[in-house]
């Protein structure tokens, strides 16, 4: 095939618009069936998979032999006529007229991932290749849709995106999960646990802001819900309270689910996701106070006592009979981060809320109202044993036009795991970072 070939190059996804025309598609060999005088190389190009039909009698002998012996994941370019084929996956096939093998994978060192069952460790070690599989591809497509949906929601609701730093001088979510980094001249900094403190500054400048980036937690526990590096979207609103957090959090979730259902049906099918579970997510979400949640848990046999934080099992117990998220508010101040505003009538509980997803996906959103009073904030910083000097700039926000304000964080990977119906969060990000995994 000559490089100056005038045949239009299209993607698999676009092929349907070219029925009856000769086009060129570039990709990789996903699978190959053959039967004597005919072979069916399936080409994937990231936009889809199309079955090509190569007929021996219609092609130069050498070319037919090359195609017939093509190895899995070899890269190649085909030229041929698009034909509608209702029985084919995707609805079209390509009748091969010409092809060029770009790189043939050697039989001596074949593509390591085969249709046979590989263990999860093997697949995680080959994550850089595993991403080409249909399932992983579908998950990344859903992730992309979720991220785009989140951005569209905030962008069309008056929020300005302001990025926050990754090197930070102080803890936001407690000192036990900080990753310390050697900075210059003996200075220590930490990888950010949350952009929230900076959002509080930017929301005083912009009214409503959000940040969206990677966050880090030195989580020593090995669970199916925790990564050490994950992506979080965090809105922050000036002149706002706990109720605003519930309203916006619910709207955001409904908007993002709507987008996934609207645009990613195919992928959800590949993932064998029961979409009726997602379609059932409607407003209003369930609401419950921490106090009532403790009572409910005790009724279900949990050992929880008032004052304790909920673990994964508790969260699952609380939502097992629910078809939509549960918002639990007013947790004990003592189990929450230093910045939570205590309830006016009951300072032992904080004006915070967690959104617990159904089907055992756990907490997807955490947030609430922040302390806006300088003296109370100073007291909390001291009680939590945090160094005042690292928070000087943050304290300024309480001196110069302090207002009630509120916000939250939603973990992208937890949300995607829920959308896709995945057992484990590790498949929701291309290259997961966990307690025992930093490669590839």
Site residues (CB under 5 A) for Mg ion?
366
Q: Binds 232, which of ligand 4AD, Mg ion, none (CB < 5 to 8 A, cut-off by type)?
A: ligand 4AD
Q: Binds 198, which of Mg ion, ligand 4AD, none (CB < 5 to 8 A, cut-off by type)?
A: none
Q: Binds 41, which of Mg ion, ligand 4AD, none (CB < 5 to 8 A, cut-off by type)?
A: none
CA 422/CA 413 separation, integer angstroms: 10
Among 69, 219, 291, 359, binds ligand 4AD (CB under 6 A): 219
The answer to whether the CB of 437 falls within 8 A of the CB of 124 is yes
Segment contacting ligand 4AD (CB under 6 A): 134-142, 228-236, 305-313, 323-331?
Answer: 228-236
Residues in the interface with ligand 4AD (CB under 6 A) total 23
What is the footprint of ligand 4AD within residues 136-195 (CB under 6 A)?
172-173, 194
Segment contacting ligand 4AD (CB under 6 A): 11-19, 75-83, 280-288, 403-411?
Answer: 403-411
Binding status of residue 364 toward ligand 4AD by CB under 6 A: yes
Q: Binds 406, which of Mg ion, ligand 4AD, none (CB < 5 to 8 A, cut-off by type)?
A: none
Residue number with CB closer to ligand 4AD (294 or 328) = 328
Residue number with CB closer to ligand 4AD (40 or 179) = 179
Residue number with CB closer to ligand 4AD (28 or 210) = 210
Binding status of residue 397 toward ligand 4AD by CB under 6 A: no
Name, in order, each residue with C-beta under 8 angstroms of 269's C-beta and a sequence gap of 6 or more: none
Q: Binds 427, which of ligand 4AD, Mg ion, none (CB < 5 to 8 A, cut-off by type)?
A: none
* Residue at shortest CB range from Mg ion: 366
The answer to whether the CB of 430 falls within 8 A of the CB of 416 is no
Angle at 176 between CA 170 and CA 177, to 5 degrees: 75
Alpha carbons within 13 A on the beta-carbon side of 314: 19
Among 159, 408, 416, 419, binds ligand 4AD (CB under 6 A): 408
Q: How far is the CB of 362 from ligand 4AD (least distance, A)?
A: 8
Among 54, 82, 178, 227, binds ligand 4AD (CB under 6 A): 227
Q: How far is the CB of 339 from ligand 4AD (least distance, A)?
A: 8
Q: Would you tell me which residues interact with ligand 4AD (CB under 6 A)?
A: 172-173, 194, 196, 217, 219, 226-227, 230, 232, 234, 363-367, 407-411, 413-414
């Amino acid at each position: 095939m000559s490089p100056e070939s005038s045949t239009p190059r299209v993607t698999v996804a676009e092929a349907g618009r070219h029925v009856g025309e000769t086009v060129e598609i570039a990709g990789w060999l996903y699978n190959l069936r053959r039967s004597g005088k005919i072979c069916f190389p399936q080409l994937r190009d990231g936009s889809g998979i199309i079955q090509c039909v190569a007929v021996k009698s219609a092609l130069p002998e050498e070319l037919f032999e090359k195609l017939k012996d093509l190895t899995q994941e070899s890269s190649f370019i085909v030229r041929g006529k698009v034909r509608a084929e209702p029985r084919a996956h995707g609805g079209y096939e390509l009748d091969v007229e010409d092809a060029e093998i770009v790189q043939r994978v050697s039989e001596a060192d074949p593509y390591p991932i085969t249709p046979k069952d590989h263990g999860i460790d093997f697949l995680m070690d080959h994550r850089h290749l595993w991403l080409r599989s249909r399932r992983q591809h579908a998950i990344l497509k859903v992730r992309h849709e979720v991220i785009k949906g989140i951005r569209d929601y905030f962008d069309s609701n008056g929020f300005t995106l302001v990025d926050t730093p990754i090197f930070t001088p102080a803890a936001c979510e407690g000192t036990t999960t900080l990753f310390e980094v050697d900075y210059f001249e003996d200075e220590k900094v930490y990888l950010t646990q949350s952009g929230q403190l900076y959002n509080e500054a930017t929301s005083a400048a912009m009214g409503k802001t959000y940040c969206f980036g990677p966050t880090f937690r030195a989580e020593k526990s090995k669970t199916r819900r925790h990564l050490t590096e994950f992506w979080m979207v965090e809105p922050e609103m000036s002149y706002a309270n706990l109720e605003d957090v519930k309203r916006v959090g619910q709207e955001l979730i409904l908007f993002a689910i709507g987008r996934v259902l609207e645009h990613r049906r195919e992928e959800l099918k590949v993932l064998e996701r029961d979409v009726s579970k997602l379609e059932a997510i409607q407003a209003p979400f369930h609401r419950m106070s921490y106090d009532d949640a403790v009572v409910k848990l005790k009724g279900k046999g949990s050992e929880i006592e008032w004052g304790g934080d909920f673990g994964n099992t508790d969260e699952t117990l609380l939502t097992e009979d629910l078809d939509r998220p549960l918002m639990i508010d007013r947790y004990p101040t003592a189990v929450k981060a230093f910045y939570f505003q205590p309830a006016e009538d009951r300072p032992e509980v904080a004006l915070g809320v967690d959104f617990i997803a159904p089907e055992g996906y756990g907490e997807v959103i955490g947030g609430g109202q922040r302390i806006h009073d300088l003296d109370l904030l100073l007291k909390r910083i001291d009680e939590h044993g945090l160094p005042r000097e690292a928070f000087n700039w943050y304290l300024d926000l309480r001196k110069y036009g302090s207002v009630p304000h509120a916000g939250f964080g939603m973990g992208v990977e937890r949300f995607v795991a829920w959308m896709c119906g995945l057992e484990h969060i590790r498949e929701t990000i291309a290259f997961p970072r966990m307690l025992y995994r930093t490669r590839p």
